[in-house]
């Protein structure tokens, strides 16, 4: 799916496919330097993180395994409450392993702080976090820190590169905002 396929719905492209590719090259270099060849377990939070998982993992020289979790956060409408339920748990035992949480987007940070607390009880050797997007609002509100952030973006509703609106637009290679009529029609 590309720009021409959603021409009428598109408002603004904030991160192009090329921007993301270049930025992930930089981040992969930093992650490789950090782990120094240690084995890492990348944990993707379904479903939005599939794109960054696929792209980032292929840029790493670090030997990685991959596992996935699906979480549902209770809340009214678009507001995250921080009360989280595990829909799909890990397959792997993470005890004494180096865990790298792979996120699509950090908004309030509530889901992520719950996830970090949950994983800590399983006694991994370390937990680090990488995210494709961090909303600017999250920087001051969050009580968990992302270790690697591809892009800090303004507090608008974003789609593409794994991010959906009603399960649409995940397969856009870029990150964009949508025209008002998409939400009202």
164 is a site residue for ligand 5GP (CB under 6 A)? yes
For residue 116, the Cα-to-chain-centroid distance in whole angstroms is: 14
Helix axes 50-59, 17-35, angle to 10 degrees: 60
Instruction: List the x/- string, 29-68, binding to ligand 5GP by CB under 6 A.
Output: -------------------x--------------------
x/- track of binding to ligand 5GP for residues 95-134 (CB under 6 A): ---------xxxxxxxxx----------------------
Instruction: Please tell me whether residue 80 binds ligand 5GP under the rule CB under 6 A.
Output: yes
- Rounded Cα distance between 108 and 80, Å, is 7
Position 28 contacts ligand 5GP (CB under 6 A): no
Choose the stretch contacting Mg ion; rule: CB under 5 A; options: 37-45, 81-89, 157-165, 177-185. Answer: 37-45
**What whole-number distance in Å separates Cα of residue 100 and Cα of residue 41?**
6
Cβ atoms 6, 169 nearer than 8 A:
yes
Give the nearer residue to ligand 5GP in terms of CB position, either 57 or 111.
111
Of 21, 32, 107, 147, the active-site residue reads 107
Gap between the terminal Cα atoms of the chain: 21
Give min distance, CB of 53 to ligand 5GP, in A: 13
Residue that has been written with the tokens 């949508």 in this structure: 178
**Which DSSP helix (H) or strand (E) runs through 183?**
helix 180-184
Q: Which two tokens stand for residue 102?
A: 């792979």
Min dist. Cβ of residue 124 to ligand 5GP (A): 21
**128 DSSP 8-state letter:** E
Catalytic site residue 107?
yes
Q: Which two tokens stand for residue 160?
A: 């593409």
Shortest Å distance, C-beta 39 to ligand 5GP: 26
Helix (H) or strand (E) holding 18: helix 17-35
Q: What residues numbered 69-128 form the site for Mg ion, per CB under 5 A?
A: 104
Binding residues for ligand 5GP (CB under 6 A) = 48, 73, 80, 104-112, 157-159, 163-165
Residues noted as catalytic? 107
The residues of the shown chain that bind Mg ion, judged by CB under 5 A, are 45, 48, 104
């Amino acid at each position: 799916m590309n720009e021409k396929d959603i021409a009428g719905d598109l408002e603004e492209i904030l991160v192009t496919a090329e921007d993301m590719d270049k930025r992930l090259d930089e981040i992969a270099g930093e992650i490789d330097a950090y782990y120094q060849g240690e084995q890492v377990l990348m944990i993707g939070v379904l479903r939005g993180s599939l794109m960054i998982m696929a792209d980032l993992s292929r840029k790493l020289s670090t030997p990685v395994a991959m596992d996935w979790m699906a979480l549902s956060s209770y809340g009214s409408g678009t507001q995250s409450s921080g009360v989280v339920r595990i829909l799909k748990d890990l397959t792997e035992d993470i005890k004494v392993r180096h865990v790298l949480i792979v996120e699509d987007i950090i908004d309030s940070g509530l889901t992520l702080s719950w996830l970090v607390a949950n994983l800590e009880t399983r006694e991994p050797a370390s937990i680090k976090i990488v995210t494709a997007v961090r909303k600017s609002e999250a920087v001051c509100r969050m009580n968990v820190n992302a270790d690697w952030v591809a892009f800090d973006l303004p507090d608008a509703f974003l789609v593409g590169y794994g991010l959906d609106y009603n399960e649409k637009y995940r397969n856009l290679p870029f990150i964009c905002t949508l025209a008002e009529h998409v939400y009202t029609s």
